[in-house]
Amino acid sequence: MTAETANSHQPPFAEFGIIARVFIALASSVLVFSAVACVTILSMLAYMSITGHAVDFSLSYRFTGLIAGAIMLLVASVWVVWVGIYRIQHPARKLD
């Protein structure tokens, strides 16, 4: 049996430690926050150029970016806990 077949049933990033998984969770939430805020700002710019109305750009951070980042952080935290529980229940096999 090769190492590829023995580890084929592990979840993604199962070999990373807890600190690496926490950093991945934080990085993914920051990435989602930034992407959603950017798309919202571009949408507000398009709205402002079409209608001529002034908009408050801080709304893009508060109402869309923050909510999307918080949801992603919650999902990523659940993933970190799930992978940790999986590693406890299914320890890695030592291949000689």
The predicted model scores a pTM of: 0.75
Residue-wise pLDDT tens digits, 28-71: 999 999 999 999 999 999 999 999 999 999 989 999 999 999 99
pLDDT at 1: 43
Helix spans in 1-96 (H): 3-6, 18-51, 58-59, 66-89
Residue-wise pLDDT tens digits, 69-92: 999 999 999 988 888 888 888 776
pLDDT at 26: 94
Q: Is the pLDDT assigned to residue 19 strictly greater than 90?
A: no
